Structure 1
């Protein structure tokens, strides 16, 4: 009888535990509150604005339900040409980024070239600044009156300027090829060399081994890098706006429809934005399809050895590797150099001066304050949410948390211009009006950049053994106290490294800020954009230098923290 009662009691307890979970597998405890709060935030500030934007695209100016906006987009060349232009620029930029990044990654991982550390630093430095600063720097170098333009003219080489679609592709390719380089380099370093050695032993030429063996092995990683380049090229607003000179692409078209139609046809801005969402999602599915069809796995037990080279070949390959890296770093050097040049109005003169920095001290001081205050507030929210959400995703995995993980990544694949317009459509009327306030900017930053912190936090949490937490609980420490005093402390290096990457992305954000700012809420990136358009290149360079220095310091800190996290792991 005692055994039967004990068995009955166990069944009752199990039934009670099951009864506390719904069909999603969500256990009703403090972590269920965290999960529901995360869902509430993402639903209210991501899903609801995007749904509002999509619905708004089906209404005309009078509020009548119609498909006329889409028909007008497909009928008028002014609209549909922007879509073709966006695909043209994004595809070409991706192609050239692959042509630069892939050979560079192969050279640096397979051959003993000189200065690999310096090469990696140059590549990362060229990636860290936002594209619109690169575009501005290339205007100073290759614009109508640029330094290199004047030099080419002086030696009789005909060159017009960097303006136009060719210049946009040029800037994008040099800005984004580091994505390809970093992705492929990592894959090549860990790829199993046995297949390449087997192909070589069968007499296969080197070029054929590269095409038929090596490339298929890194194709999933390469496709992920190409997707990132394509989507960043497709979504970027600043570079086409600065260099396009009338060459319309989708982000510029959406922005112009938005600012020109504040009292009228907002529905066309919604239509353009909706089509951008469709295109971004389609690109993601294409990448997933390609990588799933061509996915190869190796044991990784035999890592390829770095091949030694003769002195001449070593110098030749080193020069070939450093050429694109040196060219891509020119914008950074140009911005810093010109910020200290003496100037009179928009014209630079010989000699150095701090006038540009003195001028920004009283001209755009508010923008500097806004940038760091908005970013610090956003980072505080991102860190707290990132830690809690990552714990839910890893330690409380269920169908519901898997869905939450997908929601977090939605803002990552959506262009910043689209997110900004959707937030204004959603919160530009009662009962909640956030348009024109700093609150909506901070919310946009959190929604758009939290994925970096969540991903890094998930990564380090997956490396932490559950036994540490279980040991703490078994000693009588409550679960929540164990989380804050043990788990969070072990997560700090990974959390902070991801948070600093989010910080870098936030302080350099233009696409969202340019849509959401309102006079007193302008940021540094918006001010740089405004200064360049008003030909105040000196103050623009000084502001860009401030962003660059902050980015460099942040990346150094992130690198130190990532080393600490590897040590802990």
Structure 2
């Protein structure tokens, strides 16, 4: 009887999880698709296609796809040499390098692009340091510059995938080719690259999807060069007069469909070109003997890569935050702390924005972790179909472009029939952040849950412990590392979130991301960059503290 009651309780919990996810994620996306077929409150099955066939918007779709392909090429050109050097040379023994290489990916894209704009613009930092660069810098403000900025932001993602795939291949396959007389380039072309194809296809298509779904860089750098993509046009139709939700939802449905098609292509290619490279004999990725000059060249490549991806944007951001007058250039007399004093002064707009960000991130991360813990426990090992449905919907916000999710949430909570007046409130912002970043909590907690041996729980029940006591004294303490990691990730990303904040913040309310964006747009760059330094610094401190706490618990 007790076992039947527990099973019934679990089934009700799974049903509740499905209802919550359908209401929070499924229904908003359904409304986006539905609204795209009712542009003028009249059903038109061809409405999304007609919108895209519009000359201007057809160019926007092409711009998004073209940019995606070039960013994949750029990220590949940066990531593959770095992955090869990490696995095949002694560079890979420097464990600190992997931590440093994650910094570009963890930097908010709009902050990185602002740093590059300050560095490369006319009379920017590069021209001030190297006057001869004035002949070159104007060429940066083109599609090439935009692709370079986004490639430098996304290459760490592809690098980690390729490095792990190369490590799994091991040295034995190449050694077998060398024994039969194959030179290095032949082994690379006929052995290494085919074995990497499945992993590379997965990483490349994920980079492509992240690129066409990105808002920050197109909204800052893309607007400056007149290069408009789907995400910026969706934002324009929902935030600038005349507001046109018909076109916004049509573009959202096109963007959503495009991303889902490429996600499906990624899964098909990965299954088709997946090879088993780990066997009972194990594998080893021995470092290749390297001469001093080749090792020097390798470290030179690493230094240039880190300089471009981290050094340039952070140099520009930090220096700009200290400048009195941008026109006076780089001189000690032109540096001041007054922007930080203005930003953090009691009652200032900057301090209010920062406190809003911290409060929203704190509440959102806590709710996301509580909900993520509940969902992870209900998913379990995903043995049944309802559990797999919960797992699918809990990960959906990571698959769907963020701006599409925001449009769906606006349609849902601003609908005339919605009895809960949540739109244009603090609660709407919290809900959006929770929906956006719920997958992080679920994944981290699922990872911790999968490592727990069920015999520990069975031992508790053998000694008479009830379900609540077993959960509180055995399961929950073992889940704490995953819960802390999920909370930390959600808190960190919530502080820097831009697209959701721009679209759903109540009037007159600002957070750190919108403050940076507005100050940069209005020309008060130093105040915006001071906020960028403070925001990045705070998130870094939180990450360090939470990592320290997590390490102590292990």
Equivalents in 1 of 2:57, 2:434: separation in Å? Answer: 31
Change (3 A) 1:182 1:215: same
Match of 1:209 among 179, 182, 187: 187
Q: Match for 2:160 among 182, 188, 205?
A: 182
Q: Distance in 1 between matches of 2:20 and 2:490?
A: 18
Q: Offset of 1:190 from its aligned partner?
A: 3.4
CA positional deviation for 1:486: 1.1
Q: CA deviation at 1:194?
A: 2.2
Q: Kindly tell me: are residues 277 and 102 of structure 1, through their superposed partners in 2, closer, same or farther at Cα, counting changes over 3 Å?
A: same
Give, in angstroms, the shift of residue 477 of structure 1.
1.1
**Corresponding residue for residue 414 of structure 1:** 400
Q: 1:321 to 1:344 in 2, by over 3 A?
A: closer
* Superposed CA offset, 1:385-427 (max 9, x none): 2222112222573110101110111111111111111111111
What is residue 342 of structure 2 aligned with on the other side? Answer: 359
Inter-CA distance 466–204: structure 2 relative to 1 (3 Å threshold): same
Separation (CA, whole Å) in 2 of partners of 1:487 and 1:218: 39
TM-superposed deviation, 1:71: 4.2
CA shift, 1:127, in A, is: 1.8
For structure 1, which segment, 482-491 or 225-234, has the greater mean C-alpha deviation from structure 2 after superposition?
225-234
Q: Identify which of 315, 321, 329 aligns with 1:339.
A: 321
Task: Give the SS at the match of 2:21.
Answer: helix
Cα displacement (A) at 1:115: 8.0
Report the Cα distance in structure 1 between the residues aligned to 2:133 and 2:33, rounded to whole angstroms. Answer: 54
| SS of structure 2 residue aligned to 1:433 | coil
Q: What's the secondary structure of 1:371's corresponding residue?
A: helix
CA–CA distance in 2 between the matches of 1:115 and 1:367? 42
Per the alignment, do residues 533 and 418 of structure 1 end up closer, same or farther by CA in structure 2, a change over 3 Å counting? same
Do residues 435 (structure 1) and 419 (structure 2) align? no
**CA root-mean-square deviation:** 2.5
Unmatched runs of 5 consecutive residues or more in structure 2: none
Which range moved further: 245-254 or 331-340?
A: 331-340
The residue aligned with 2:435 is 447
2:232 to 252, 274, 292: 252
Find the counterpart in structure 1 of residue 15 from structure 2: 36
Preserved CA contact (<8 Å) 1:127 1:176: yes
Residues 280-339 of structure 1 deviation map (CA, whole Å, 9 limit, x = unaligned): 101101111111110001225021111232222222211122211221012123212322
Task: Specify which of 222, 244, 266 is matched with residue 200 of structure 2.
Answer: 222
Alignment of 1:96-115 (within 5 A): 96-113=74-91
Matched, 1:399 2:381: no
Q: Which residue of 2 is the match for residue 473 of structure 1?
A: 461
Q: Distance in 2 between matches of 1:373 and 1:495?
A: 19
* Equivalent residue in structure 1 for 2:51, among 68, 73, 89: 73
Alignment of structure 1 residues 378-389 onto 2, 5 Å: 378-389=364-375
Alpha-carbon separation, structure 2, partners of 1:406 and 1:513: 26
Shift of the 182–560 alpha-carbon distance from structure 1 to 2, 3 Å rule, reads farther
Instruction: Encode CA deviations 1:530-553: one digit per residue, 9 max, x unaligned.
Output: 111101111111111122112322
After superposition, residues 296-311 of structure 1 pair within 5 angstroms as: 296-299=275-278, 301-311=282-292
Which shows bigger deviation, 552-561 or 407-416?
Answer: 552-561
- Output the CA distance in 2 between the equivalents of 1:167 and 1:59: 38
Is residue 82 of structure 1 aligned with residue 65 of structure 2?
Answer: no
CA offsets, 1:68-98, max 9 Å, x none? 6324323322111111100111111111101
From 458, 476, 498, the equivalent of 2:446 is 458
Paired with 1:563 and 1:211, the residues of 2 have a C-alpha distance of: 42
Residues 118, 124 of structure 2: 8 Å contact kept: yes
- 1 CA distance for matches of 2:200 and 2:491? 26
Q: Distance in 2 between matches of 1:40 and 1:345?
A: 57
Q: Bigger CA drift: 355-364 or 469-478? A: 355-364
Distance across 1 between alignment mates of 2:382 and 2:80: 39
What whole-Å deviation, never above 9, does each CA across 1:192-238 have from its counterpart, x for those lacking one? 33222212211122122223222333333333322332122111112
Q: Secondary structure of the residue that 1:299 maps to in structure 2?
A: coil
Q: CA deviation at 1:470?
A: 0.8
Q: Indicate the SS of the match to 2:324.
A: strand
Question: How far off its partner does 1:191 sit?
Answer: 3.0
Aligned-partner Cα distance in 1 for 2:385–2:484? 28
The equivalences for 1:317-332 within 5 A come to 317-329=298-310, 330-332=312-314
Distance 2:328 2:240 in 1: 28
Q: How many residues are matched?
A: 543
Spell out the pairing of 1:54-203 with structure 2 (5 A cutoff): 54-61=33-40, 63-67=41-45, 69-113=47-91, 116-151=94-129, 153-154=131-132, 157-160=135-138, 162-203=140-181
- Take 1:356 and 1:156, find their aligned partners in 2: how far apart are those partners? 29
1:233 matches 2:221: no
- Which moved further from structure 2: 272-281 or 234-243? 234-243
Residues 492 and 399 of structure 1: CA distance in aligned 2, closer, same or farther (over 3 Å): same
Moved more, 244-253 or 303-312: 303-312
Unpaired segments ≥5 residues, structure 1: 1-12, 21-25
Equivalent residue, structure 2, for 1:4: none
Separation (CA, whole Å) in 1 of partners of 2:169 and 2:486: 26
